[in-house]
Amino acid sequence: MGPESTIRSRQNPIYKQIRSLLRRDRRHEERAFLVEGPRFIADAQRFGATPLQLVFSESFAAGLELPPNQARLARVFDDELFASLTDTVTSQGMIAVFPFPDIPTPRNTIPFVLVADGIQDPGNLGTLIRSAAGAGVTRILTLPGTVDPWAP
């Protein structure tokens, strides 16, 4: 990926679309969310999720060689634009856009539901979701006033 393909403008439609996913209403309208960091992106792919786009900071992408199936999804943003897409203090230089998953409840399974009500801290909701998965929960419902489970 060379510098000629680097996105440098806040007016670029690709930048605007990805940036819009920082907002809850746009995530739900587009049915897509952001995942940051190579490890989390690899984990999502290992569990069958397919990214819609891969976004790299210019400094991270320098010399990066991607397999052809991922190279077509790749976008490189200059470091300043990339930083505006992330909440982390020290970014790892990689973000992926994933579609909301459609996870069917297995047939002949008794529903086991976690209802999250009023959880405000994304880390706490994440802990509940991971614990619920480990306990075999088949569905998670978040009530109004609960943090968005698809937040970055």
pLDDT digits (tens, 9 = 90+) for 27-56: 999 999 999 999 999 999 998 899 999 999
Of the listed ranges 18-22, 108-112, 121-125, 128-132, the least confidently predicted one is 108-112
**Global pTM value:** 0.84
pLDDT at 3: 44
CA 149 distance to own-chain centroid: 11
Q: Which residues pair with 54 in a beta bridge?
A: 74, 96
The reported pLDDT for the residue numbered 99 is 97
Q: Is the pLDDT of residue 103 over 80?
A: no
Is residue 32 exposed (0-12), middle (13-18) or buried (19+ Cβ within 10 Å)? Answer: buried
CB of 143 within 8 A of CB of 117?
Answer: yes
In whole angstroms, what is the distance from residue 149 CA to residue 152 CA?
Answer: 9
User: Which pLDDT score is estimated for 5?
Assistant: 81
pLDDT by residue (tens digit) across 66-95? Answer: 777 778 889 999 999 999 998 777 788 999
- Computed over every residue of the chain, the mean pLDDT equals 89
Distance CA 7, CA 58 (A): 9
